[in-house]
């Protein structure tokens, strides 16, 4: 239960109200209660879940917490590192002005649907929204006289029901564990015919040496390690170019320019290969489940 009569004597909030905050912000700050205040200022937990009924102030608490963290951890935390996932964009009109009124830069705001579409590069009109799924589950099917249409509707509902349940969540969790611990799409990396690193070495880097990091970070670190490994070859080629340029003949100049261009082309090709190698298609990974 929240204590609605509690007066919050907090320096951070007093600073906010002293900066000519708007009426909306005065109302939000004035309504903050003891448990909400504790959630906003919790520094002991990495993950914090705020539960409450509709209208209980969950969104206000989340935004106040973001402002609090930005206020007290300016050196480590920036607004662009925080994302607010909203049920719909209708809430953005309410949330967009909260942080600026608290004296902080606005954070990124999106819905999970739009975020997923961007990450998977999936066109928005090809992905079902939550509302479309709800309409499908609630729609009357007594008007369907076509057996094929009725069969399609039943399968669609069964799919929505399954993907909304605990079994599918467990399946996804196990699949993510597999990707983090055992996924091995790597191949040997060559540069100018010389093997720079083997697929087994790459796998060891990603699944052992960098195991404590998120998968994307591990892959990027492995890519950087490969670029470091080829640096001696690049230095050797650069030394050859400098030696050719020290020779004052026209033929040597032409040869050195050709060597330089070839080196540049080889490096460009390697970077492109590593860029493809170090990225993965989220949608393709998801469809592998089926």
Q: How far apart are CA 255 and CA 247, in angstroms?
A: 11
- As a whole number of angstroms, the distance between CA 276 and CA 187 comes to 12
Asked whether residue 160 is assigned to any structural domain, the reply reads yes
Domain count, the chain: 3
132 found inside a domain: yes
**How many Cα atoms are found within 13 Å in the side-chain-facing hemisphere of 265?**
6
Show the domain range for 203: 183-287
Which pLDDT belongs to residue 170?
Answer: 93
70 token code pair: 């930005």
| Whether 150 and 225 share a structural domain | no
| CA pair distance 110, 82, nearest whole angstrom | 11
Coil, helix or strand at residue 85: strand
Rounded CA separation 263/192 (Å): 9
Cα–Cα distance between 175 and 169 in angstroms, integer? 10
For residue 116, is it within any domain?
no
pLDDT in tens, the chain (290 residues): 333 333 344 555 555 545 545 555 555 555 556 777 888 888 888 888 888 777 777 887 888 888 888 888 888 888 888 888 887 777 777 777 666 766 667 788 888 888 888 877 777 667 787 788 888 888 766 555 566 677 888 888 888 889 888 999 999 999 888 887 777 778 888 887 888 888 888 888 888 888 888 887 888 888 888 888 888 877 877 777 677 666 655 555 666 667 777 777 777 787 777 776 666 677 778 888 87
Taking Cα atoms as reference points, which of 191, 224, 196 lies closest to residue 210?
Answer: 224
One domain, residues 148 and 54: no
Within a domain: 170: no
| CATH number, domain with residue 25 | 3.40.50.300
Residue 141 pLDDT: 60
* Residue 115 is assigned to a structural domain of this protein: no
Which pLDDT belongs to residue 254?
61
What global pTM score does this model have?
Answer: 0.55
Tokens of 50: 């705020």
């Amino acid at each position: 239960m929240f204590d609605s009569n509690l007066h919050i004597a907090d320096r951070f909030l007093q600073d906010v109200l002293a900066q000519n905050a708007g009426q909306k912000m005065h109302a939000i700050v004035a309504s903050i209660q003891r448990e909400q205040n504790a959630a906003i200022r919790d520094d002991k937990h990495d993950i914090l879940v705020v539960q409450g009924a509709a209208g209980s102030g969950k969104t206000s608490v989340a935004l106040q917490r973001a402002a609090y963290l930005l206020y007290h951890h300016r050196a480590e935390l920036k607004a662009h590192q925080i994302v607010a996932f909203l049920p719909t964009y209708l809430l953005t009109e309410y949330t967009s002005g909260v942080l600026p009124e608290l004296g902080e830069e606005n954070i990124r705001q999106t819905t999970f649907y739009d975020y997923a579409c961007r990450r998977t590069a999936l066109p928005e009109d090809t992905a079902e929204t939550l509302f479309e799924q709800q309409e499908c589950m609630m729609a009357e099917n007594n008007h369907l006289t076509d057996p094929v249409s009725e069969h399609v509707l039943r399968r669609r509902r069964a799919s929505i029901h399954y993907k909304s349940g605990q079994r599918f969540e467990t399946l996804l969790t196990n699949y993510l564990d597999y990707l983090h611990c055992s996924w091995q799409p790597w191949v040997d990396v060559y540069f100018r015919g010389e093997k720079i690193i083997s697929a087994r070495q790459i796998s060891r880097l990603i699944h052992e040496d960098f195991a404590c990091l998120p998968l994307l970070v591990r892959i990027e670190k492995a890519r950087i390690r490969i670029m470091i490994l080829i640096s001696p070859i690049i230095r050797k080629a650069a030394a050859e170019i400098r030696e050719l340029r020290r020779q004052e003949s026209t033929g040597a100049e032409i040869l050195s320019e050709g060597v330089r261009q070839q080196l540049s082309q080889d490096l460009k090709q390697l970077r492109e290969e590593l860029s493809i190698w170090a990225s993965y298609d989220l949608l393709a990974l998801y469809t592998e489940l089926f």
